[in-house]
Amino acid sequence: MKKNLFLLGFMACSMTMMGQTDQNESWYFKLGGSFFTQTAATEFPTVGGNAALSKVYVGGKLISEESVTGSFGEGFRTGFTAGYRFNQRLGVEMGVNYYNSTDKTMAQTVSDVPITPAGVYNFKSVGQITAFDLAPALVLFLGEHKGFEPYAKVGVLVPVHGDLEITSDANAPIAFAPSGAPTAFGKIHSVDKVKPNPTVGFMSALGTSYKLGKNISAFAEVEYRNFTVHGKTKETTEFTVNGNDVLANRSQAQIHSNYVKRLDVNSNNPLFNPNTATPDQKDTTRPNDAMDELSSYVGISGLGLTLGLKYSL
């Protein structure tokens, strides 16, 4: 609610200023780079059936467990922005950005004994987001003084392409007895790519430019951005056991997932429907269907500093 009121107030002030002189009407272009730190941290979603937990075993006994939280809002961004000033105070911008988050551990298990009767293993999943987004915004220029021109802007973020890549490495069971107990262990490496559903986020920034010449300025911005991304599909693009590529041996249900809001007896999921693919069985009645999994989301909220150059026509 506060966010919406702020946006409405900003737009009202902007419209009031539209009637001012248009002596500063012009185009400008900005090129910059940013570093963001994460702000709000949330619990990560389940990864490959493993909850967002950090577990430590010693001698086969669980000695510690904690939730794994974080945000993919920490990372680096480069961007190009085209702006247009209607008058001395008001303008609009359209940014095109490429964002690359830092790696985030999403789940892990640490054990000093890789093989135990209970099947305890060493496991770690690390995620990274890469994305292109569009960032339309309204800009309020606060007046120039001694070469400095501070401004504020507010807008939205519209991701247009990207994914969440999850890399998992484990010393895990690879064969099971009829009783379900593990009979062999191996080193498993996998890479999953999660494609998102369309979403829209919010951004606001305070910045200033400083004239270096007639048309060239340097600028700096402090920006806050916040949005969540819900998964749409997941695909395993790499899967090796003890260094051997075995991706081709896995079923469609093992390498493809559809994220849904509800799971029931009609879902292609072995926990709810026995006629679906299981982790160690391919010849089922629905081997060519993607696995159904519950929809999850990750947060991309961060506070960043952008530095760059501005060219005005």
Whole-number Å distance between alpha carbons of 206 and 151: 6
* pLDDT greater than 90 at residue 127: yes
- What SS3 string covers 238-284? EEEECCEECHHHCCHHHHEEEEECCCCCCCCCCCCCCCCCECCECCC
* pLDDT confidence band for 116 (50 / 70 / 90): low
Whole-number Å distance between alpha carbons of 173 and 189: 13
**How many residues comprise the chain?**
313
* pLDDT greater than 60 at residue 40: yes
* pLDDT confidence band for 173 (50 / 70 / 90): confident
Whole-number Å distance between alpha carbons of 41 and 112: 30
Tens digits of residue pLDDT in 289-301: 888 888 888 889 9
Q: Cβ of 73: how many Cβ atoms within 10 Å?
A: 27
Residues 6+ apart with CB under 8 A from 123: 50, 107, 108, 109, 168, 169, 170, 171, 172
- At residue 86, the pLDDT reads 94
Report which residue type is found at 270. Answer: P
What is the average pLDDT across 250-274?
Answer: 86
* pLDDT greater than 70 at residue 149: yes
* pLDDT greater than 70 at residue 144: yes
11 dihedral zone (left: phi>0; alpha: psi -120 to 50; beta): alpha
* pLDDT confidence band for 19 (50 / 70 / 90): very low
* pLDDT confidence band for 275 (50 / 70 / 90): low
Tens digits of residue pLDDT in 131-140: 999 999 999 9
Percent of the chain with pLDDT over 90: 58
More confident residue, 68 or 41: 68
Domains of the chain: which residue ranges?
2-312
* pLDDT greater than 60 at residue 16: no
Mean pLDDT of the chain: 86
Q: Which value, to the nearest 10 degrees, does the dihedral of the CA atoms of residues 165, 298, 196, 292 take? A: 90
CATH of 2-312, one of 2.40.160.20, 3.40.50.300, 3.30.565.10, 2.60.40.1940: 2.40.160.20
Whole-number Å distance between alpha carbons of 166 and 177: 29
